[in-house]
Structure 1
Amino acid sequence: MLPSRLSRHFAPYFAHIPFQIVSLITVTLLAHVTLSGGRVAASLYALKHGGSEAWAGIAFSAFGLMPVLLSLQMGRWIDRVGTRRVMRICQLLMISGLVLSATVQSLPTILITGLLAGTGFAGYMLAANVCVSYMDFKHEGDRVGMLAWLQMGNSVSSVLGPTFVGILIDHSGYRMAFGALAAVVVCSLLAGLRANLPDGTRESKPKSSEPSIARAVFRDARLLRIYLLAMTVSLSWDAFTFMVPVLGQTRGYSATTIGLVLSSFAVGTFAIRALLPWLSRRMAEWRMLTVSFALAACVFFTLPLADNALLHAALGFVFGLAAGVGQPNILGLIYRAMPPGRAGEGAGLRAMMGNMMGLTGPSLFGAITALFGAVPVFIMVGGIMSGSCWQARRGERSAQATAPA
C-alpha cells in the first residue's frame, strides 16, 4: 500500500524528467569512475613501487592540482566553444593520461597521468554542470534537482571506482587497471557522442570594457553573497570529512567506527540529492540554503558533545542531508544571476574558490587542532555556518522583495 502511494505521489514529477539528463548522468558516472579509481591506483602504485607516503600523497593530489589553477579559464573556454566540445576534448585528455600509465609504468608517468586525468575530469564536470543550465525545464526548480542528480551519479561512482580498481589491481596488476579505466572513459565518450545534449556559446566576443566575473562579483552584493556562501559550503564539507576522523581518534574509535560515521554522511548526501528534484519544486533555493546552514551549525556545535559512535553516525547523516543541498542550489543561483553567455565563467569561479578552500581549509584545521584541540574547530565552523544561515535568510528576503508581484 505504501509503495503504491509513494509512486502516485512522485510519478507526476518523474514524467517531466528530460531524457537528456539521464544520458548526461550516465556519461558522467562513467567518467567519474576514472577519477575516483585513478586516485586510488596512483597512490597505491607510488607506495608499492618505492615511493614513500609523501609520494603517495603527491600522486593523489596531482589529480586536483590543475583544477585549482585553471577552473576560471576552463569556464571561459566553455563559454567560448560550447559545452559539448569541451566535454569531448576533456574526455580525450583523460584517455591520453590513463593510456600513458597503462603503457609506461613509472612514478613520473603516474604523476603526469594525475595531471592530465584530473584536469580533464575537472573540465568535463564543469561543462556538464553548465550543460544543465542550458536545458529547458517546465519548472525552474527542476534545474536544481537535475544538478543534484548529476552529483548523485558522482556519489555512486565514488564507491564503484575504488572497488573496481582494487579488484583489477589484485587480480591483473596496475597496467590492466589503468587500461580498464581508459576503456571506461572511451565508453563515456562514445555514449556522449550519441546523447543529444544542449550546447551554448557566447554570441559575441567579450568587450575589452566588460568586467571579469571576479570583479563583477565584488561589485554586486547579491553575487558576492552567493559566492561567499559557496565557499562556506566547501569549508563545512572539508571540515567534517577532515575533523571527524581526528575527533574519533582522540576518543579511541576504531577505523571501522570512523568509516561508519563518514559512510552515514555519504548516505545522507545521496538520500537528499535523490529527493532534491521533488523538494526543489516545493522550496526555493534560498529557503533550502537557510535550512541547510541551520542544520549544519547544529551538527558542528553538537559533535563535540556526542559521547558515542551511534550519535556521531546520526549526526553525520543529518550533516549529509544539510551538505547535499548546498552545491546544487548554489549553482542554480549562479546560473540565474550570470549574464547571458557567461555561465561557464561563473561556474568556473565557484569551482576555483571551492578548490582553494579544499587546499587551505584542512591545513588551517590541523594547525588549530595542534595548538588548541579539536573542539575549537567545531565551534568555529559552527559559528561560520550560523552566520551563513543569517546571510542565506537575508538573500531569501531580498529575493522576495525583488520578485514580481
Structure 2
Amino acid sequence: MSLNAPPPDAPLARHQILLALVIGQICLHAAMAGLRMALPLMLLRQGGLGWLGGEVAAGLLLGLFSMVPVVTAVRAGRWTDRRGYHRPVRSAVVIVVAAGLVAVPAAAWSLLWPEVGSLDGSPVATPVASQGGLGLVQLLLLGLAASLAGTGSNLGLIAIQRSAGRLASHGRDVASSGATDRDEATRSELKKVFSWLGIAPSLSNVIGPMLAGFLIDAIGFPGACAAMALLPLGTLLCAARVPVGLAPGSQTASTKASATAAASAGQRAVAPRQGVLALLALPGVGGILLANWFFSTAWDLHTFLIPLMGHQNGLSASAIGTVLGVFALAVTAIRLLVPLLAERLTERHVMSGAMLVIGAVFLVYPWATTLGTMVVCALVLGLAQGIVQPMILSTLHQLAPPDQQGEVIALRSAVINLSSAVLPLVFGLLGGALGPALLFRAMAVLLWVGAWLPQRLAPHRPSA
C-alpha cells in the first residue's frame, strides 16, 4: 500500500507523511503505555505473587518495560538503518500485538483459577505461591508481555524517528539550491519535524493509560489487554502513507552530489560503517548523549519526587496529579510552538539554556510548599524539558553518518530506558536517606556543570 503514497518532495504530501508517522507512533506507544499501567495495577490488586509482594512484583514488571529495550536498542537501530521504515515498523506492530495477547491469559488468571487471586480488589483467598507452578507461569507470562511491549514500542520509535529525520532532509535537499541554504533549511526542518513527532509520546501517555483504565472498570483486565493488542493495528494503516522512498539506499540530493564527487576523485563513495565506540567518539555525539542523560535524569527525578513532596506538604492526590498534569501540558504546548520558532532557535543555545533553567527551578523547588508555587515550578520545568527533545534529535541526526542515524537514535533510546529502569530505585534509596531538597539541589548543580556540553558543538555542522 505504501507504494501508492505520494512522493515525499510534494509539500502537502510531506505533511501527510509526517501526520502518518505521528499517529502511527501514538497507536504503538499508547498500547505499550496502557499495558504498562494495567499489568502492575493488576498485580497490586491481586496481592502480588505470594512469594513476591504486590509492590515488589509491580516494580520488577515495570523495570522489564525499560530494561529489555536497553539490551536490544542498538541492534534495532542498526536494523532500521539497513531496512528503513516498513519492515521494522511491521515487526514492531507484531511484537506489541503479541504482548497484548500474551497478557490476556495472564490477566484472566483469576477467572481460570479463582483461588489464585482476585482482580476486583477483594482479598486474595489463597496465596499464589501455594498453587505451585501456577504463580510462576503467570509471572512468566506477565514478564514476557512487558518485555515484548517495551521492545516492540522501542523498535517502532527508532524506525519512526529515523524516518522523520530522513523526511526532513529529503524534502529540503530538493527544495534548496545552494549548499549553505540547504544545510540551514535542513536544520530548521529537522527541528520542526522532531517537535511535531515529540507530541506523540505525550499524547500516548495520556491515551493509553486512560483507555486502559476505563476498560478495566468496564470489562476487566483481560478485555483491556485485548484492546491494547488492537491499538497497534492503527500503525499499520498509517504506514500506508509512508513511501518506500524513505528506506535506506534512497539518496538525497546532497548525498548523491557527495557520492558523485568522491567517485570522480577516485575515492570510495561510501565510508565503512563505524562501530558503537567509534560513533560515540564522533565530535559532539558523546557530549549530546551525556546531555540527554542529564535531561532524562532530571525528568525522572521530578516525576519521582513530586508525589513525595506533595505528600510532605499535605497536598491531596488530585493536587499532586494537577502538578504533574501541568508539567505534561507544558511539554506538549512548547512542542506545538517550536515549529513556529524553529528558524530562530539554535540547538546548542537552547540545550544549554534549558539546563540552566531546569537547574534554577530545581534549586527553588524545595521552597515551593503550596499548590500554586509547585504548579509554577512545574510549568517552567515542562517548558524547558519540552523544547529539548527536538533539539537533541535534530543535532544527533546532523552529527551521525547517514547510514547510522538509526543507531545513534537507538543509543539515545537506550540511555533513556536505562535511566527509567535504574534511577527510580536509586532515587528511592537516596530520597529516604537525604530527603527531596538535597536531591533537587544536587541535580541543579549537575545540570549547571553540564550546561557547557552543548556549547562544544560547532555553530554549523552539515548533516552529511
For 1:6, the equivalent position in structure 2 comes to none
Separation in structure 2 between the aligned mates of residue 133 and residue 330 of structure 1, nearest angstrom? 12
Indicate the structure (1 or 2) with the bigger Cα radius of gyration. Answer: 2
- Alignment counterpart, residue 285 of structure 1, candidates 332, 342, 347: 347
Q: How much has 1:39 moved relative to structure 2?
A: 1.1
* Preserved CA contact (<8 Å) 2:32 2:96: no
For 1:214, the equivalent position in structure 2 comes to 277
* Preserved CA contact (<8 Å) 2:165 2:193: no
Q: How much has 1:69 moved relative to structure 2?
A: 1.3
For 1:41, the equivalent position in structure 2 comes to 38
1:30 is aligned with what amino acid?
Answer: C
Q: How much has 1:248 moved relative to structure 2?
A: 2.2
- Alignment counterpart, residue 28 of structure 1, candidates 25, 30, 33: 25
Per-residue CA deviation, residues 364-389 of structure 1 (Å, 9 max, x unaligned), is: 33333222222221111111111222
Q: How much has 1:72 moved relative to structure 2?
A: 1.1
Separation in structure 2 between the aligned mates of residue 83 and residue 97 of structure 1, nearest angstrom? 21
Separation in structure 1 between the aligned mates of residue 225 and residue 97 of structure 2, nearest angstrom? 10
Q: How much has 1:142 moved relative to structure 2?
A: 2.1
Q: Which runs of 5+ in 2 are unaligned?
A: 1-10, 49-53, 110-137, 173-184, 251-269
Tell me the TM-score normalised to structure 2 length. Answer: 0.77
Q: How much has 1:202 moved relative to structure 2?
A: 6.3
1:2-401 alignment runs, 5 A limit: 18-51=15-48, 52-103=54-105, 105-106=108-109, 107=138, 108-135=140-167, 136-138=170-172, 139-140=185-186, 141-196=188-243, 198-201=245-248, 210-217=273-280, 219-395=281-457, 398-399=458-459
Per-residue CA deviation, residues 61-98 of structure 1 (Å, 9 max, x unaligned), is: 33222111111111111112222210111101111221
* Preserved CA contact (<8 Å) 1:200 1:341: no
* Partner SS, residue 343 of structure 2: coil
Separation in structure 1 between the aligned mates of residue 234 and residue 369 of structure 2, nearest angstrom? 47
* Preserved CA contact (<8 Å) 2:66 2:420: no
Per-residue CA deviation, residues 114-154 of structure 1 (Å, 9 max, x unaligned), is: 11121111100111101111113443212122212212122
Per-residue CA deviation, residues 219-263 of structure 1 (Å, 9 max, x unaligned), is: 344222211111111111111111222222222222222211111
Q: How much has 1:17 moved relative to structure 2?
A: 6.1
What number of residue pairs does the alignment pair up? 383
Tell me the percent identity: 26
Shift in CA distance, 355/312, structure 1 to aligned 2, threshold 3 Å: same
Deviates most, 120-129 or 359-368: 359-368
Runs of 4+ in 1 over 4 A off after TM superposition: 14-17, 207-210
Q: How much has 1:30 moved relative to structure 2?
A: 1.4
Per-residue CA deviation, residues 198-225 of structure 1 (Å, 9 max, x unaligned), is: 533369xxx99754133332x3442222
Q: Which runs of 5+ in 1 are unaligned?
A: 1-13
Shift in CA distance, 198/304, structure 1 to aligned 2, threshold 3 Å: farther
Separation in structure 1 between the aligned mates of residue 244 and residue 331 of structure 2, nearest angstrom? 26
Per-residue CA deviation, residues 35-68 of structure 1 (Å, 9 max, x unaligned), is: 1111122112223334222222233333222111
For 2:179, the equivalent position in structure 1 comes to none
* Preserved CA contact (<8 Å) 1:237 1:323: yes
* Preserved CA contact (<8 Å) 2:78 2:404: yes
Deviates most, 104-113 or 345-354: 104-113
Separation in structure 1 between the aligned mates of residue 46 and residue 436 of structure 2, nearest angstrom? 35
Q: How much has 1:16 moved relative to structure 2?
A: 9.7
1:128 is aligned with what amino acid?
Answer: I
Tell me the TM-score normalised to structure 1 length. Answer: 0.88
